[in-house]
Amino acid sequence: MTMLTRNRKIGLAVALTGFVADQALKLLVTGPLGLVNNNDQIMLTSFFNLTRTSNYGVSMGLLRADSDLMRWVLVALTGGIAMVVGAWLLRERKLGDIVPLAMILGGALGNIVDRMRFGHVVDFADFHIGERHFYIFNLADALISLGVVIILARSLLIREKPIQDTAATPATEI
């Protein structure tokens, strides 16, 4: 097996693992833990609760799908984005570029499945400081966000050194 094939298989495994873990957590939260209705809550620590909410939008509630038509428009839009990310993943060669794309793909697929099944995305992770609550999210959202941050960090901080052809470069060049 070539290194490229190995890296792609690892990437697809990361995407599948992220997708399955996201769906399993949502099933746990809405099943055995009993967070069925919006605002059902389990207080776990002084800074983290499980709080069930239905997200009808994307990216912190933007582009709300208030109708069945908008729901399917968001499914198509996010599905198209997931296909682009999947194609991008298969074009990359370095594992450091493949893994964050796989995280984004796995998270996107998790949220797409929710939107198709329920008409909304199930969110439950509720970090807070005292009474100040931040956005409630799920594992898929965390995977997408972390994948984007890694891609941005790699693009800003890791530069490939240009290959210098010493035979073609004049010695007097400044």
The pLDDT assigned to 170 comes to 55
Please check the confidence at residue 114 and state whether its pLDDT lies above 50.
yes
- Going by DSSP bridges, is the β-strand pair 48-55/121-129 parallel, antiparallel, or unpaired? antiparallel
Is 141 designated active site?
Answer: yes
**What 3 state SS string does 71-123 have?**
HHHHHHHHHHHHHHHHHHHHHCCCHHHHHHHHHHHHHHHHHHHHHHHHCCEEE
pLDDT tens string 16-68: 999 999 999 999 999 999 999 999 999 999 999 999 999 988 765 667 778 88
Is 165 designated active site?
Answer: no
d(CA 55, CA 58): 7
The pLDDT assigned to 93 comes to 94
- Of 121, 94, 133, nearest to 3 by C-alpha is 94
pLDDT tens string 115-172: 999 999 999 999 999 889 888 999 999 999 999 999 999 999 987 666 666 555 555 5
- Annotated catalytic residue, options 22, 97, 123, 126: 123
